[in-house]
Amino acid sequence: MEMDDIVVKILEKPELKEPILIEGLPGIGLVGKLAGDHMLDELKGKKFVEIYSVFLPPQVNIQYDNTVKLVNMELYYWKNRKKDLILLLGDFQGITPDSQYKLADVVLDIAEEFNVKRIFTLGGLGTGAITKEPKVYGAATNKKLVNELMKHGVVFRGSGAIFGASGLLLGLGMQRGIEAACLMGETHGQIIDAKSAEAVLRILTKILGIDIDMTKLAEKAKETEEQMARVSKMIEDQKKAFERQFPIEQPTYIR
């Protein structure tokens, strides 16, 4: 039997009141994935949708109990007194540009079915530099949302691009009348960055008005900080070694 390009498996149809969709798929520094997975762990969200697709990498993942799982994307819900949440999580994004569009469209179809009016996508902004206090940058689909996020300390640059699900859910969501914003943690880009994920999640939880225990993520962030310190020292040592091997001649001046 031939598999459809995208298969949506509905496990449950919960009653949700205008839920906010949070995307936490893998990207730069795994910032969004770390933040999204931590939210799931702390909020104890319940899985209600599985998305399988030929547009995801052709593999199964071996789990802790040595059984395998076909790679997919998953949607979880969490019911709250103020606003319910839907979390979009997974180990991969679409592997081609057109598949990114198709998967984003399917996610938005589900979002509309549950009356989602607002989306937050989470990711990293790679700078190639190491920072101790990562900023959280943003982009949004309307000026009102920009102003709202600025009040929470989100920094706006006025330029750049957002690739993958974090960008497409904004652009395609805007065409459907869903307002959306992307929160991007400042990160080196070549390091799994829990510190940046923590910075993003602290701002997101303020915006949502919810409390999440950050202890475990803070512990991972400390590991990130130590890793960054080691990388920074290695870069500095390499630079000094290079300068010793190829000393820069000081310019001479004729007076």
Strand partners, 74: 50, 89
Say if residue 52's pLDDT is above 70.
yes
118-170 tens-digit pLDDT: 999 999 999 888 788 999 999 999 999 999 999 999 999 988 999 999 999 99
The answer to the question of residue 235 being in a domain is: yes
Of the pLDDT bands very low, low, confident and very high (cuts 50, 70, 90), residue 2 is low
The answer to the question of residue 42 being in a domain is: yes
Of the pLDDT bands very low, low, confident and very high (cuts 50, 70, 90), residue 252 is very low
Residue 159 CB contacts under 8 Å (≥ 6 apart), including other chains: none
Q: Which amino acid is at 180?
A: A
87-126 tens-digit pLDDT: 999 989 999 999 999 999 999 999 999 999 999 999 999 9
Say if residue 62's pLDDT is above 80.
yes
The answer to the question of residue 255 being in a domain is: no
pLDDT recorded at residue 227: 65
Residue 200 CB contacts under 8 Å (≥ 6 apart), including other chains: 31, 32, 35, 122, 136, 183, 184, 185
Structure tokens belonging to residue 92: 């991969």
pLDDT recorded at residue 253: 43
d(CA 124, CA 11) in angstroms, rounded, equals 31
pLDDT recorded at residue 237: 67
CA atoms within 13 A on the CB side of 7: 12
Count the neighbouring beta carbons within 10 Å of the beta carbon of residue 228.
18
d(CA 154, CA 199) in angstroms, rounded, equals 10
The answer to the question of residue 34 being in a domain is: yes
pLDDT (mean) for 18-23: 96
Residue located via tokens 């949607």? 75
The answer to the question of residue 251 being in a domain is: no
The answer to the question of residue 254 being in a domain is: no
184-198 tens-digit pLDDT: 999 988 888 889 999
pLDDT (mean) for 12-37: 94
d(CA 180, CA 253) in angstroms, rounded, equals 59
pLDDT recorded at residue 242: 62
* pTM, rounded to two decimals: 0.86
The answer to the question of residue 218 being in a domain is: yes
d(CA 142, CA 147) in angstroms, rounded, equals 9
In the chain, the number of structural domains is: 1
Of the pLDDT bands very low, low, confident and very high (cuts 50, 70, 90), residue 4 is confident
d(CA 145, CA 135) in angstroms, rounded, equals 18
The answer to the question of residue 156 being in a domain is: yes
Of the pLDDT bands very low, low, confident and very high (cuts 50, 70, 90), residue 254 is very low
Say if residue 41's pLDDT is above 90.
yes
Say if residue 73's pLDDT is above 60.
yes
Q: What range does the domain containing 172 cover?
A: 6-245
- CATH code for the domain in which residue 45 is found: 3.40.50.10900
For residues 18 and 107, the model is more confident at 107
Q: Is 177 left (phi over 0), alpha (psi -120 to 50) or beta?
A: left
